[in-house]
Chains A and B, each alone.
Chain A
Amino acid sequence: MSPAWNTPVLPAAAAALALALAACAGGARLPPPPPQTFSAAEIEKGAELAKLADCQGCHTADGGQAFAGGRPLNSPFGTIYTRNITPDPRTGLGRYSREAFIRALRRGVRFDGAELYPAMPYDHFAYADDEDLGALYAYLMTRRPKDQPPTPNKLIPPANIRGAVAIWKALFFHPGRFQPTPGRSAAFNRGAYLVQSLGHCGACHTPHNFLDAEETSKPLQGGVQEGWYAPPLNALSPASVPWTPEHVYSFLRTGFDRDHSAAAGPMGSVVRELARAPEADVRALSVYLATLMQPSPAAKGAARPADHVAQAAAAQPAGARLYAGACAACHDAGAAMMREGRPPLQFATPPQEDRPTDVVQVILHGLQPATGPRGPYMPAFAGTLSDAQVADVAAYVRARYSDRPPWKDLASAVAKARRQGGEG
């Protein structure tokens, strides 16, 4: 728990602010319009935007009905369960008018005026056009309603008091409007709009401060979410091969790129939706993101793929032995997986990252194909290797496949990642 929350004044102030906000928000409690008032075109557009925003990814529980909520999201302050956004009149969006819905996405205020936790990325949705938010509303309001009451959040005080969010907002939530960059292509600006607004890429890829707010001064410079590290998407990109628009497109569309790596962790569900989003929008995202990453070391020729077999074996003999029996059957030359065009590890981003988080996560918990049953897969080693063995493998991978210094604190990184994952 961070020191700021220990100050006794804040909760009281938060409660007062919340009451004030609730009072002024009351007027938005209008009845929702009947489904038939939405045009087919608007619903269709909303469907596309919902994919770009990956609404399903967060608002669907494992094995549950789409959009009915209930998925646990881990935050530094505990677990938040996502809400039911089907049009159910008792437990879902059925309680929201169009205006209330837009207000919720733009300002983080619930239909009844209560605060919404910033796990909902309204700090990004605030940048979306009303027209787009309206389309999203039309789409969600035409889904099959599901009566599914919310799962109570498990948050530590004072984060468990919704009013505290008002303080948070006062401190960190100052959205503006999206501004296109003059002189850039339409695709670039479309990509920029999607990244900043509905795509909410910064929710993972921007570092967060001690109160879990995005550090807006460091956009897309890399962040931690759900125990995974989302690497920088700008000049700080640690990739060993430059990201061109084609590479980014391949990654976003299929979950892997031959010259980089496979989507893992929370990126999986993003890719699952982007694989089915309009191609032009995913291309726009790719143009914009590749442009952001243009000044990266790889693009400037200052980083390149590395494969230091002999040095790594000398530096990390235990890791080398483990790698030879546990990893080489897929990742070394002559393996079927290599022959079939899956990227060799020196092309992958995680071994290049400043922290071992992703390498450790993917060893412990593996990865599943992102876009369907077919695609890159890695088994979870959580049950097979001990913490120390995972650390040895990670150290070897770092030594062999990057030119960067060894990671520190591997043991604690493994212990932490194991706590966050399943049982394997």
Chain B
Amino acid sequence: MSLVLTVNGRQHTVDASPETPLLYVLRNDLQLNGAKFGCGLGQCGACTVQVDGKAAYSCLLPVAAAQGRAIRTVEGLGAPEAPSPLQKAFMDEQAAQCGYCIGGMIMRAQALLDANPRPSEAHIRAHMQPNLCRCGTHMRILRAIRRAAGLPVEAASA
């Protein structure tokens, strides 16, 4: 089945069965690496992309349901030589260990900052709750989000 997707502002025509989760189409048809397979169950957030501005699990979004909606992946934010402010903040904080979760982290955090440019600490943590990091990079991810939001990089004291 031929489907038209709008990814990072560009239209792509792909041939896939309509129920195929968007994740597989992004990775295998459009050759975008940013969204990762972590669980296929909406439990870890490694596959997070933005759909119409909201953080979405691309592993649970059938590609047919992604037609006509604005899809943004981490590739759409910036590149190594021209990173987005949030990507730059992750670089400045060296906020990655293995980094497998980070594309999803950035996309979920970006959805938050798009909606609320100066979130509270509690709001940041609650919003990031769906995404898992196994290396324990949480403190740096939080610092990077605060940095991108122009907040003090250290956590507000309890």
Question: Are A and B close enough to touch in the complex, i.e. CB under 8 Å?
Answer: yes
Residues of A within 8 A of B20 (CB): 325
> Bound complex: CA of A326 vs CA of B52, how far in Å?
18
Distance in Å from the Cβ of B59 to the closest Cβ of chain A? 8
Residues of B within 8 A of A339 (CB): none
From A377, A383, A423, B51 is in contact (CB under 8 Å) with A383
**B78 located at the interface, meaning its Cβ lies under 8 Å from any Cβ of chain A in the complex:** no
> Bound complex: CA of A324 vs CA of B43, how far in Å?
18
Task: Check B43–A377 contact: CB distance below 8 A.
Answer: yes
**Chain A, residue nearest B1 (CB):** A321
**B144 located at the interface, meaning its Cβ lies under 8 Å from any Cβ of chain A in the complex:** no
**B99 located at the interface, meaning its Cβ lies under 8 Å from any Cβ of chain A in the complex:** no
Binds B, one of A155-163, A245-253, A384-392: A384-392
**A322 located at the interface, meaning its Cβ lies under 8 Å from any Cβ of chain B in the complex:** yes
Residues of A within 8 A of B42 (CB): 366, 378-379, 381, 384
From B54, B57, B60, B61, A423 is in contact (CB under 8 Å) with B54
Q: Are A384 and B64 also in contact (CB < 8 A) when A322-B19, A379-B130 are?
A: no
Task: Check B40–A325 contact: CB distance below 8 A.
Answer: no
Distance in Å from the Cβ of A21 to the closest Cβ of chain B? 40
**Chain A, residue nearest B64 (CB):** A321
**A63 located at the interface, meaning its Cβ lies under 8 Å from any Cβ of chain B in the complex:** yes
Residues of A within 8 A of B43 (CB): 377, 379
> Bound complex: CA of A329 vs CA of B57, how far in Å?
13
Contact with A along B12-52 (1 / 0, CB 8 A): 00000011110000000000000000001111000000011
**B79 located at the interface, meaning its Cβ lies under 8 Å from any Cβ of chain A in the complex:** no
**Chain A, residue nearest B56 (CB):** A384
Distance in Å from the Cβ of B125 to the closest Cβ of chain A? 9
From B55, B63, B111, B122, A63 is in contact (CB under 8 Å) with B122
Distance in Å from the Cβ of A318 to the closest Cβ of chain B? 8
Distance in Å from the Cβ of B136 to the closest Cβ of chain A? 17
> Bound complex: CA of A326 vs CA of B64, how far in Å?
11
Distance in Å from the Cβ of A63 to the closest Cβ of chain B? 7
Q: Are A321 and B62 also in contact (CB < 8 A) when A383-B54, A423-B54 are?
A: yes
Residues of B within 8 A of A322 (CB): 19, 62, 64-65
Residues of A within 8 A of B4 (CB): none
User: Interface of chain B, helix or strand or loop or mixed?
Assistant: mixed
From B54, B62, B122, B130, A326 is in contact (CB under 8 Å) with B62
**B135 located at the interface, meaning its Cβ lies under 8 Å from any Cβ of chain A in the complex:** no
8 Å CB interface, B104-142 against A:
111, 115, 122, 127, 130
Distance in Å from the Cβ of A42 to the closest Cβ of chain B? 34
User: Interface of chain A, helix or strand or loop or mixed?
Assistant: loop
8 Å CB interface, A351-404 against B:
366, 377-386, 389
**A35 located at the interface, meaning its Cβ lies under 8 Å from any Cβ of chain B in the complex:** no
Residues of A within 8 A of B21 (CB): 325-326
Task: Check B62–A329 contact: CB distance below 8 A.
Answer: no
Contact with B along A315-343 (1 / 0, CB 8 A): 00000011011100110000001000000
> Bound complex: CA of A179 vs CA of B43, how far in Å?
47
Task: Check A389–B65 contact: CB distance below 8 A.
Answer: yes
**A76 located at the interface, meaning its Cβ lies under 8 Å from any Cβ of chain B in the complex:** no
Task: Check B41–A321 contact: CB distance below 8 A.
Answer: no
Task: Check B19–A384 contact: CB distance below 8 A.
Answer: no
Distance in Å from the Cβ of A384 to the closest Cβ of chain B? 4
Task: Check B122–A384 contact: CB distance below 8 A.
Answer: no
Task: Check B122–A385 contact: CB distance below 8 A.
Answer: no
From B51, B61, B130, A325 is in contact (CB under 8 Å) with B61
> Bound complex: CA of A330 vs CA of B40, how far in Å?
9
> Bound complex: CA of A321 vs CA of B65, how far in Å?
9
8 Å CB interface, A61-103 against B:
63
> Bound complex: CA of A330 vs CA of B60, how far in Å?
10
**A424 located at the interface, meaning its Cβ lies under 8 Å from any Cβ of chain B in the complex:** yes
**Chain B, residue nearest A337 (CB):** B41
Q: Are A321 and B60 also in contact (CB < 8 A) when A329-B41, A379-B41, A423-B115 are?
A: no
Task: Check B62–A379 contact: CB distance below 8 A.
Answer: no
Residues of A within 8 A of B61 (CB): 325-326, 384-385
Residues of A within 8 A of B65 (CB): 321-322, 325-326, 385-386, 389
> Bound complex: CA of A325 vs CA of B57, how far in Å?
12
Task: Check B54–A329 contact: CB distance below 8 A.
Answer: no
Residues of A within 8 A of B40 (CB): 329
Residues of A within 8 A of B18 (CB): 321, 325
Q: 4 tightest CB-CB pairs across the interface, nearest first?
A: A379-B42, A325-B62, A324-B19, A325-B19
Q: List 10 A-B contacts (CB under 8 A).
A: A321-B19, A321-B64, A324-B62, A325-B63, A326-B21, A379-B41, A382-B54, A383-B57, A384-B57, A424-B54
Q: Beyond the given A326-B21, A326-B60, A330-B41, please list 11 additional residue pairs across the A-B interface where CB-CB is below 8 A.
A: A325-B21, A326-B61, A337-B41, A379-B42, A381-B42, A381-B60, A383-B51, A383-B55, A383-B57, A384-B51, A423-B115
